[in-house]
A and B are shown apart, each in its own frame.
Chain A
Amino acid sequence: MFQVEDIRKDFPILQRKVNGKPLVYFDNAATSQTPQHVIDAIVDYYSNYNANIHRGVHSLSQEATDHYEEARLKIQKHFNAKETHEIIMTSGTTHGINLVASGFTSLLKKGDEILVSALEHHSNIVPWQMLCERSGAILKVIPMNDEGELVISAYDNLLSEKTKLVFVNHISNALGTINPIETIIKKAHVVGAAVLIDGAQACPHIKADVQALNVDFYVASAHKMCGPTGVGMLYGKEEWLNKLPPYQGGGEMIAEVSFEGTTYADLPHKFEAGTPNICGGIAFGAAIDYMNAIGFEEISAYEHELLEYATKQLLEIEGLKIYGTAKNKTSVISFNLKGIHPYDIGTLLDKMGIAVRTGHHCAQPIMDYFKIPGTVRASFAFYNNKQEIDALVEGVKKAKMMLS
């Protein structure tokens, strides 16, 4: 049984005050808060078995290695990867995307095409532009409609024999749209293109099954799903990971080194040069445990309830417009008040202890589409409650009164 008040007790930060008011944290799409279970895992690591992994013969190193590899198993199980070595530990989603983009340099030739969606975060646009500069490939954009949904008929027209890669986020960070990735993946495979799905926004809401999706690459960040910052994962199908060259050189990623040449280590170590974020990886595993113990179905059902509750109340405010009205969306509300800059609303809400995001959300192409400088974005997590939404609605009303 989902009891939000019990869940809130797991998050120490929710007890604090900001500007003298109880914190209302609605910037979950930027980073999630950390439950005690994950904080404990971090403290436990540094208090009891901090050591470098994979190479020490001593017990401490062995213990740390065991915990770290256990975390990899948890991640594999969570995303339902077929093999443990298909999970590459990264520093986060951006790292995973760059690793794949870099690896494709030698696999592309001039005139090949890469498709990205109009809903992308900058981190999912720039690496492909750089890849195009290196390889001579061409970047094409899958357009969106006024609701913030991808236009699948346009996607059909863009797909061809020239398409080698398709990159789409599972959920848009700026608008909350849940993209029809099953369809996108199937259609890409018909023309022989590989697909990378950015799961940064989806991972706190949806349990993605990479085998059922038949996706080639899937990336996520721990800090979006109750884990620490600076750690994430890249799932890649074994055949693809074997085709890609290593991303960075260094320790851990080699089998044998001489000045004549080096043989690379097997997967996943080929892509894991240097000492990784050991504590972060272990805490990522703890975060996955924590969220699964609550249950993703329960989480998304409750968040949907929050979304509907907030949407209804906010729309009652005259002059308030919500951007991103896809039928299938997650608990993100991007909005503006008529004639008022989002920055002004965000500043006043902050004075009331309410944390929202303002600006272009690293998705300037979306803002250009709507011809706005940015939006105010409130994103809800399973540890938020309806009283907090009431505080937001009151806060927006007050800000509107002060600003008009």
Chain B
Amino acid sequence: MTIKAIQEELIDEFSMFEDWEERYQYMIDLGKTLPLIDERYKTEENIIKGCQSKVWVHAEMNDDKVAFTADSDAIITKGIIAILIRVFSNQHPQDIIDADTDFIDEIGLKEHLSPTRANGLVSMIKQLKMYAIAYQTQLN
């Protein structure tokens, strides 16, 4: 599936929720199902700065596609990561670089997009894109 198609799918899923409670409960549940990062990648250098909770992200390249795994010590943050990974993982690096993130607004999580927000959603997206840029450079 393309990034755009996955984003559309998410927008569809989130449109079924009537209020914030359902939305957050879903994110919490997503957080619980997040495939965890391998313990050996939970290193200081894999921590994303700018988050009140700890976030680790690991990336690797398989068949010209970038695969992300991640973890956090806070469950809502994990839910947000799960959404990002669903959108961006196993995609071609150039597609990750080109992707926009307007869907976050559309699924009602706009408040997490503020750069000063302590969960660092913006830092996470930036980090995923940085990995994509690095791998794209290798492909070139």
- Which residues of A are in contact with B by a Cβ distance under 8 Å? 19, 340-341, 343-344, 347-348, 351, 358-359, 373-374, 402-403
Contact = CB atoms under 8 A, between A and B. Distances in A.
Nearest to A399: B24
B7 interface: no
Contacts, number: 42
A344 B75 contact: yes
A359 B119 CA distance: 11
A344 to B, nearest CB: 5
Interface string B18-51: 0011001100100000000000000000000000
A343 B77 contact: yes
B6 to A, nearest CB: 24
Determine which residue in A340, A341, A351, A402 has the highest number of CB atoms from chain B within 10 A of its CB, and name it. Answer: A341
A374 B21 contact: no
Contacts of B119: 343, 347
Contacts of A343: 52-53, 74, 76-77, 118-119
B25 A402 contact: yes
Contacts of A373: 53-54, 73
17 contacts: A19-B20, A340-B75, A341-B73, A341-B74, A341-B75, A341-B77, A343-B77, A344-B28, A344-B74, A347-B24, A347-B76, A351-B21, A351-B24, A358-B118, A359-B52, A373-B54, A403-B75
Contact of B52 (A340, A348, A374, A403): A374
Given A343-B118, A343-B119, A402 B73 contact: no
B25 A358 contact: no
B24 A402 contact: yes
Nearest to A20: B20
A402 B24 CA distance: 8
Interface residues of B, number: 15
A221 B108 CA distance: 38
A214 B101 CA distance: 59
B72 to A, nearest CB: 8
Given A347-B119, A348-B24, A348-B76, 5 more contacts: A341-B74, A343-B74, A344-B28, A351-B20, A402-B28
Contacts of A403: 28, 75
B16 to A, nearest CB: 18
Contacts of B52: 343, 358-359, 374
Nearest to A351: B20
Contacts of A341: 53, 73-75, 77
Contacts of B54: 373
Nearest to B23: A351
Nearest to A339: B75
A340 B75 CA distance: 8
A348 B73 CA distance: 16
Interface string B74-113: 1111000000000000000000000000000000000000
A167 B25 CA distance: 46
A344 B52 CA distance: 10
Contacts of B118: 343, 358-359
Contact of B76 (A19, A344, A359, A374): A344
Contacts of A19: 20
Contacts of B21: 351, 402
A347 B72 CA distance: 15
Q: Closest 6 interchain pairs by CB?
A: A341-B74, A343-B74, A343-B53, A351-B20, A343-B52, A344-B76
Interface in B62-77: 73-77
Nearest to A360: B52
A403 B31 CA distance: 10
Determine which residue in A348, A359, A374 has the highest number of CB atoms from chain B within 10 A of its CB, and name it. Answer: A348
A168 to B, nearest CB: 28
Contacts of A340: 75
Contacts of B25: 402
A340 B53 CA distance: 11
A305 B119 CA distance: 34
A347 B111 CA distance: 11
Nearest to A398: B21
B118 to A, nearest CB: 7
A353 to B, nearest CB: 11
Interface string B116-127: 001100000000
A27 to B, nearest CB: 13
Nearest to B20: A351
Nearest to A373: B73
Nearest to A341: B74
A374 B53 CA distance: 9
A341 B21 CA distance: 18
A347 B77 CA distance: 10
A153 B118 CA distance: 39
A373 B52 CA distance: 9
B18 to A, nearest CB: 13
